[in-house]
């Protein structure tokens, strides 16, 4: 009885004084939620952590988390749900915390609309929704003096690279694996700028993330093919990525070291190579011509003048055909290994929270279609995947299965943060991908 009057008095007193700014309580006064951010004055693009806490003194079962829409932010669900206990006003509360990483995309005041927790109906109470108060933050614009290659990175970043080799024959590309990692919004940042004077192609790899010291550290690896234009030793210049350092409040640049490479063989673009490609029986033979009569000399000279341009044109066309054939073979190679590579990448998934895992699967799916259609850099989302498949006359069965697979991915992206992806769900993804590839081949 004492406890009843004590709780009743608390309810009346709180009704008179009003709820605290970040809390919303139910009528019993023993369950409530509050929301907070770790930084109310971030810069544009700076990671902040939004945390919703459920305080429960009665042992509620199966509460359902409903996140805010986080309008004005790019968000990453950290997925980790922690529980602690606290003593407040003589009651012991189990405190469940759910954290979300946010990156503001505009300067000015932004109000984070309330996240909620839905308490299911029981014999003692009806279904109840507890909503935290909005959280107001004041986003600061980035200072002036941004470098020319600055693309919005804010935080701490590292840039690493490995080269598959340092010597290659003419016409063979060098392959670089470039890795960008940091506390900024790596998932949405464009790739680093490629060096001028080099012909190159870049393919974004899958994005992964992990939580370190309470912050999300993202990582993306890019595959870059460099095609050297000349023979001999040369320097592959550094690649750089500019960002705003939050500690020093200055713009910095992370970069890779320059690397010496050597290209051997025949330079097909040089004049010497074109002349060497002319067959011997068509070349001018000075000794024989001077030994003939003046008429023979005249006829031989005009014959060479007529034939030599044709030979040069033929050599250039031959080189172009060779280049096209090399590209075609590379495309066929990517198409052949699109499925095995995708399945291998799924097997090597870093299983984090469910959203991050399905984001990785989404990236693998996009890369699979890019390789299958030789459409590197074109596939950037689900609409691109379906549009390209339709444009390339892929079978209706493959299209239908692809849509089924995308539905599975969407379901995973919007699953509850506490859900962990299972081995059977991973296998469903692989089976659908196998089915798509088989139907694709039968077209």
CA-CA distance, 55 to 83, in Å (whole number)?
Answer: 10
Residue found by looking up tokens 């459920």 in the block? 54
Residue 372: CB partners within 8 Å, gap ≥ 6?
334, 335, 338, 437, 440
Give the range among 97-101, 117-121, 286-290 with minimum mean pLDDT.
Answer: 286-290
Q: What is the spatial distance between Cα 98 and Cα 79, in angstroms, rounded to a whole number?
A: 7
Model-wide pTM > 0.85: no
Calpha distance 111→139 (Å, rounded): 11
pLDDT digits (tens, 9 = 90+) for 29-66: 688 999 999 999 999 999 999 999 999 998 887 888 88
The pair of structure tokens assigned to 214 is 């309470």
Could you give the CA distance from residue 76 to residue 122 in angstroms, rounded to a whole number? 33
Chain mean pLDDT for the chain? 77
pLDDT for res 161: 92
For residues 95-101, give the mean pLDDT.
92
Res 108: pLDDT: 95
DSSP string covering 388-404: HHHHTT--HHHHHHHHH
17-139 and 142-265: identical CATH topology: yes
Q: What percent of the chain has pLDDT over 70?
A: 70
For residue 82, list its beta bridge partners. Answer: 97
- Strands (DSSP E) along 8-120, which ranges? 23-25, 31-37, 48-56, 64-66, 73-88, 91-104, 108-112, 116-119
pLDDT value of position 433: 80
Is 84:98 a contact under the CB 8 Å cutoff? no
Q: Which of 83, 89, 76 is nearest to 49 (CA)?
A: 76
CA separation for the pair 424, 412 (Å, rounded): 13
Architecture of domain 142-265: Sandwich (2.60)
Please identify which residue in the block is written with the tokens 């505009």: 106
- Give CA–CA dist 14/9, Å, rounded: 9
DSSP run (H or E) holding 253: strand 250-255
CATH code of domain 17-139: 2.60.40
Q: What share of the chain is helix, strand, coil (3-state, %, to 5)?
A: 35, 30, 35
Per residue in 207-240, pLDDT tens?
A: 888 888 888 999 999 999 998 878 899 898 899 9
114 secondary structure, DSSP code: P
Domain map of the chain by residue range? Answer: 17-139, 142-265, 271-334
**Residue 289 and residue 283: Cα distance in Å, rounded?**
12
| Least-confidence region, from 23-32, 94-103, 376-385, 433-442 | 23-32
Q: How long is the chain? A: 443
Tokens of 1: 């009885």
Q: Confidence class of residue 274 from pLDDT cuts 50, 70 and 90? A: very low
pLDDT at 155 over 80: yes
pLDDT tens string 297-346: 455 555 555 666 766 666 666 666 666 666 666 667 677 777 888 787 77
């Amino acid at each position: 009885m004492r406890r009843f009057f004590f709780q009743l008095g608390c309810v009346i007193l709180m009704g008179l004084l009003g709820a605290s700014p970040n809390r919303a309580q139910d009528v019993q006064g023993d369950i409530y939620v509050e929301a907070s951010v770790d930084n109310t004055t971030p810069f544009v693009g700076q990671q902040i952590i939004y945390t919703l806490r459920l305080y429960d003194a009665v042992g509620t079962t199966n509460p359902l988390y409903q996140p805010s829409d986080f309008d004005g932010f790019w968000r990453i669900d950290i997925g980790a749900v922690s529980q602690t206990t606290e003593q407040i006003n003589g009651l012991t509360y189990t405190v469940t915390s759910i954290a979300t990483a946010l990156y503001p995309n505009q300067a000015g005041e932004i109000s984070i609309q309330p996240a909620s927790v839905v308490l299911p109906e029981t014999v003692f109470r009806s279904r109840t929704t507890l909503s935290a108060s909005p959280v107001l933050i004041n986003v600061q614009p980035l200072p002036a003096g941004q470098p020319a290659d600055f693309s919005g990175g804010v935080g701490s970043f590292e840039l690493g690279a490995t080269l598959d080799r340092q010597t290659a024959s003419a016409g063979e590309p060098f392959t670089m694996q470039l890795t960008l990692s940091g506390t900024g919004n790596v998932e949405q940042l464009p790739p680093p700028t490629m060096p001028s004077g080099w012909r190159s192609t870049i393919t974004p790899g899958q994005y992964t993330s992990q939580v370190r010291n309470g912050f999300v550290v993202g990582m993306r690896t890019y595959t870059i093919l460099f095609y050297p234009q000349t023979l001999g030793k040369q320097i592959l210049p550094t690649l750089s990525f500019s960002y705003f350092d939050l500690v020093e409040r200055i713009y910095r640049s992370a970069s890779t070291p320059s690397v010496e490479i050597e290209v051997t063989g025949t330079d097909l673009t040089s004049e010497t190579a074109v002349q060497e490609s002319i067959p011997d029986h068509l070349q001018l033979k000075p000794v024989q011509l001077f030994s003939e009569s003046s008429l023979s000399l005249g006829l031989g000279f005009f014959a060479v003048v007529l034939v030599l341009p044709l030979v040069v044109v033929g050599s250039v066309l031959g080189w172009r055909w060779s280049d096209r054939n090399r590209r075609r073979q590379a495309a066929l190679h990517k198409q052949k290994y699109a499925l095995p590579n995708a399945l291998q990448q799924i097997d090597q998934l870093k299983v984090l929270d469910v959203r991050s895992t399905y984001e990785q699967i989404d990236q693998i799916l996009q890369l699979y279609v890019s390789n299958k259609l030789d459409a590197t850099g074109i596939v950037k989302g689900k609409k691109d995947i379906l549009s390209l498949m339709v444009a390339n006359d892929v079978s209706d069965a493959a299209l239908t299965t692809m849509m089924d697979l995308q539905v599975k991915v969407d379901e995973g992206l919007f699953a509850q943060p506490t859900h962990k992806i299972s081995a059977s769900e991973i296998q469903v993804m692989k089976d659908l991908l196998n089915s798509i590839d088989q139907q694709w081949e039968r077209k």
